[in-house]
Structure formats: structure tokens, C-alpha cells
Amino acid sequence: MADRDFSRICDTREWELPGYEPWFPVSEKSNPLTCDIDKASPNHIVRLLAACDAQIFQTKSGSTYERLFCDSIVHSMKEVTKMLEHILRDPEDSLVVLSGCGTSGRLAFLMATCFNRILKDQEQKPLYTYIIAGGDKALLTSQESPEDDPKLGMLTLEKICEGKRRVLFIGISCGLSAPFVAGQIAFCLKHPDVFSPVLVGFNPVSQARDEPMPGSTLTFRALVQKMQQKGQRAFIINPAVGPEVITGSSRMKGGSATKILLETILASAHTAAITNTHVTQGVLLARMKAYEFVHSATYSHSEQIAALIQSTGLSLQRGGRVCYVAWGSLGLLGLIDASECIPTFGADYEDVRGFIRGGYQDLDNIEGDLTSLGPQFCISHEDFMHLVLPNLSDRDLVLLLYTAHDDLDEVEKMILRVREKTSNVHILYHRLEGEAAADSMAPLCSSVLSVTWPFPSPDLNLLHMQWELSSKLVLNAVSTGGHILKGKVYRNHMIDLQVTNSKLYHRAGHILQKLSGCSQTRCEETLLKAIYDVETLTEDITSARVYTHTISASRRSRVVPLALVCLLMGCSLSEAKSRLQSHPVVREAVEACVTSSTPSSP
């Protein structure tokens, strides 16, 4: 693609027009840039990803949406930073809780442990903790149903904060939609003497979810409006970052923007507390601009990212495995990326897996070692060597992620071990100018993506946070691109998603409506037939709650593809099953249906 075309892509702000998919919040709109991403080459996929990610940093420029660098957003960030500064100066009996569901909860964990480590290095006590819906097993595997439970959210928060004098609660819900987080915010609002709630998300308040939450008449939107009422000591930080590359996949831009926003707040408060100064909007802006540089530094390696996507796609198409073997906090980024492939692309846990040096000891999660829960929870390099490596072959891909600050001898040894089983070895390596290049490893690998960062860096912790974001962008590109090439995406929709909570249930219904053109009622009926595996719906099924549907859906696979084929072909469930069997690649199955259901021109 010529550079002129690329800048045209970056300029596209069509999604901001009032008439563009007005019935969806920004986080659920489809991105007009990526409507043909399923047919794109790896090079083009990377260009589209770069353009979509660039939307995070776009300025407001006449649109109605508040954006990352807007005064109102940076002002709220400053207020929250000031609250944290006070706590850091007098931390006794205080707690900062970061909480969320899915990727939002995993990032809460990443940041809470990172800033506790910074405090520990300064010989201070830990101040941060995290909550993830579904507990620690949700750090590594998809646990979607607790997201729907506001009471569980509230009780978990209450328990973790017992005896605290002051709590800064930061709830993350990219779509302003998760009842689990809403329950916690509602609890904070009831106890303003102790709790100061902050909500982070990426929709305007008017687009927050407006459906009563289980066990309550309250909606997420009504709750956010309550936060905005005069006299409430509550903050909402919700810039629009544009629709996701794959519709609704908030692990991508939503996750990146969460990391940018919260690390900016947390790091700025720490600096202010240490230097005995006060944070300014200028400081916050400068920190966020540094993340914009991460975007350009990372995507300046587009060709290498595209090559990685190509190899990942090939491995997945051949039924091979993709393993991220990583050092330091990049390991957590690998685990996070791998965990989301299951609900997003209907992947098996073995398709994409992450392994971290030091396993649970380095992870430092509340519930400790989870290995006994099953093979999905085996995450150390030793687990990789004992359980995975012996069965690897050339169709499997191993991506090693590390930095110049890790033990490079250990990395080299690992590469040599892996090479005995597969030549499909790739590396993603970060270093500062002047630090050792990946030269000695390069001949051992199929591809090397080495990102060099300018020296001197203002702060080592900040540098590592930037390397994490850079790695996140690459990993998101690799797993999304690989699954696109495997045929798990149709246009820019995840058509093989798991329907395991109410948000995903409604998303599935919308996907069916959009792709089949059938009515909402017909789509929902067909979805239910696929979920319950029946040709005719009974009264029991139609009168059941969405929660019951999601429990049944969690026991089945390919419910959305099946429903879509039924709708497109006007056929029975059993016919749809045999069609899907003859076209195992979901996108091809859908395309075959679209072609055969389109009347030929006279």
C-alpha cells in the first residue's frame, strides 16, 4: 500500500459521525477501516492494526467524543493522581484496588503487581491490590460468567478492603458495561467515608450499558450518572479510542488505552510523592505522548510483524501450536494475549499458550500456585520444557520474548533446546541503543523483531512499561492476524466467539443480525436453537433467563457459526452441522452459504 493510502486510512474518522451505527456504543461499533480485514494480506493486516491503534491518540478535532488528550480527560486524570499522591504520602491503613473482568482484570493485576514492586524497591509496604472477576484462574483462562454478577463484585471488594481507613477504587470496564464492576462502584458510592471510586472505560456516559443488572433494577448507565451527580467524590475517565479492529475485541485498543491511562496516573503520583511536587496536566500529557512514541516505534517494524503473522497463521492452519516463551513482565503479556484467544476466536487452550520465567513465583498472584487446577495452569519455562517441548514439531511456532535486561545466556540455551524440535523459532527483543544486539541469536531463528529504544531513558520502570505496551501490540497483532488467516474472522467480526455471558450473548445476536440481515427475533430464536442443540424451541427455553442460555452455551462449540449458517441457508440445525463439517474453516463455510443463498443474476 502506498504511503498516501496509509495516511488516508489514519485520517479516517467515519466512525465518529452521528449516523455511523448509532445503535452501538463506540466499543461495540465495527471499525470502518477493517471491514475487509478477513481478506487482507499479513502486510495489510499490520497497516490496518497500526491505523486502528493510532486512533487511540487522535485529537478531538471537531468531533463530539472526548479523546485521550482532551482537557476534560486530563483534568480528571489529574484529580485522581492527586488523590493517589495523598495516599502515597500517608499510606497507613490505605489501599488502592484495581479491578476488572477478562483483560481489564488481567491488566489490573499487571499494574498492581508492577507498582507494588516499585514500592518494594523503595523499601515501602505494598499499597496496591487487584480483583479479577472469577478469581486468579481468570488471569490465565477465560472465566466469562462472573462478569455478570454485581453482588459477587461487591462482596469481593468488601472483603479485600476490610479494616481499611481509605480506599482508592479503580474499576475498569472498557465498554462501561460489566455488572461485576458496577456492583463495586455502587458499594463505593454507599461508603464515601472510606471509598473514592474511579471508573475507567472508553464510551461516553450516554452510551454506557442500559440494561438492568442481574438482581437489580439499576443499569450501568444510571450508576455512572449517579457518579456524575454534584457532591460525589467519584471520577470517570472515559476517552473514546475508536472501534476495535475486530468488533468488540476490547482486549486490543481498550486494553492498551487502559494501560496507558492508568500507568500515567500511577507513575505520575509516585514521582510527585517522591519529589514532593504536585502533578500538572503537562506532566500527564507528556507521559501519554511517550506511549504514542511506543506506537510508532513498534509499527516501524511492520514487515517483521507481518512475517510473524504469516508464520502464526500457517501454524494455526496446520493445527499447530503457538507458544510464547517469555522473560520478566513480558511473560504476563504473553499469558494475557493467549487467554483471550479462547473466547474471541473459539480457540482451544493449546492453540496459543504463554509461559513465563519463574512461573507463579514471579507472577506473585494472590492465590499462589494454580498448577494443580490442570494443564492450562502450567505456565513456567520448566512446564514448557517438560509438557510441551517434547511434542513440538516444525508446524508449531515458538516466539521468545525478552529484553536486554534479562539473562541472555539463558535465552540462548532455551533457543537451542527449542531448535532441536522445531525450526519455527522467532524472537521479539527490546533493548536500549548501545545494549547488546540480538546478533548471536539471529542465525538460530526464523525471524527476529528487535526494537531499539533511544538512550538515555528517563526512568527504567517507565521504559519497561513501554516495552510491555510494545510487546502487547505485537502479540495482539500476531494472535489476531494468525486467527484471521485461519479463517476465524468474517469481515471484521469474531464469528466463532464463545457466548458465555450476557454481553457476549447480545454481541452474538448483533453479529447474526448484521451478517444475515434477518430480524432480531429470528436471530435470537436461531441462536437459542444452536445453544440448546434443538430443532424446535420449547417454552422452557424461550422463558429462561439469559444467564441460563450462557450456561448451556458454555458446554457447546461453534454456536454462532451454526446459527449463522441456519439463517443464511434457511436450513435446519442438522443441515448446518453437516455444512460446517464439510467446510471446517468457519469463514469459508459462511462465504459458501452467502454465495449459494445469493440469487444469480438473470
Q: Which residues bind ligand F6P (CB under 6 A)?
A: 100-104, 144, 147, 172-175, 177-178, 250-251, 254, 340, 343, 501, 503-504
CB-nearer residue toward ligand F6P: 201 or 561: 201
User: Looking at this protein, which amino acid is placed at residue 218?
Assistant: L
3-state SS record for 33-80? HHCCHHHCCHHHHHHHHHHHHHHHHCCCCCCCCCCCCCHHHHHHHHHH
Q: How far is the CB of 338 from ligand F6P (least distance, A)?
A: 13
Q: How far is the CB of 225 from ligand F6P (least distance, A)?
A: 18
Give the residue nearest to ligand F6P (CB). 102
Q: How far is the CB of 572 from ligand F6P (least distance, A)?
A: 30
Give least dist CB 336 to ligand F6P, A: 9
Find the shortest distance in angstroms from Cβ 477 to ligand F6P: 17
For residue 179, count CB atoms less than 10 angstroms from its CB and return exposed for 0-12, middle for 13-18, buried for 19 or more. Answer: buried
Collapsing DSSP states into helix, strand and coil, what is residue 316? helix
Q: Which three cell numbers stand for residue 102?
A: 477478562
Smallest distance, ligand F6P to C-beta of residue 181, A: 6
DSSP string of 376-435? GG--BHHHIIIIIGGG--TTSEEEEEEETTS-HHHHHHHHHHHHTT-S-EEEEEEEETTS
Q: How many Å apart are CA 350 and CA 12, to the nearest integer?
A: 37
For 24, phi then psi, to 5°, come to: -110, 145
**Alpha-carbon span 98 to 94, nearest angstrom:** 13
State which residue, 101 or 261, has the beta carbon closest to ligand F6P: 101
Task: List the beta bridge partners of residue 324.
Answer: 354, 399
Sequence-separated (6 or more) residues with CB below 8 Å from residue 391: none
> Is 25 or 359 the residue whose CB approaches ligand F6P more closely?
25
Q: Which helix (H) or strand (E) holds 447?
A: strand 447-453
Q: Report the nearest approach of ligand F6P to the CB of residue 202 (Å).
A: 8
Could you tell me the CA-to-CA distances from 355 to 282, 335, 339, 381 in Å, in that order? 39, 7, 12, 6
Closer CB to ligand F6P, 250 or 365, in the complex: 250
Closest CA to 37 of 496, 513, 480: 480
CB nearer ligand F6P, residue 100 or residue 320: 100
Q: Minimum Å distance from CB 251 to ligand F6P?
A: 5
Q: Which residue's CB is nearer to ligand F6P, number 172 or number 398?
A: 172
Whether residue 99 contacts residue 105, with contact meaning beta carbons closer than 8 Å, is answered with yes
Residue 124 is given by DSSP the state: -
Residue among 175 and 487 whose Cβ is closer to ligand F6P: 175
Our CB check for ligand F6P shows the closer of 24 and 402 to be: 24
* Residue 426 and residue 414 in contact, taking contact as beta carbons nearer than 8 Å: no
CB closer to ligand F6P out of 342 and 389: 342
State how far the Cα of 51 lies from the Cα of 7, in Å rounded to an integer: 8
List the grid coordinates of 354.
504463554
Q: Rank residues 359 and 509 by Cβ distance to ligand F6P and give the closer one.
A: 509
CB of 535 vs ligand F6P, minimal distance in Å: 29
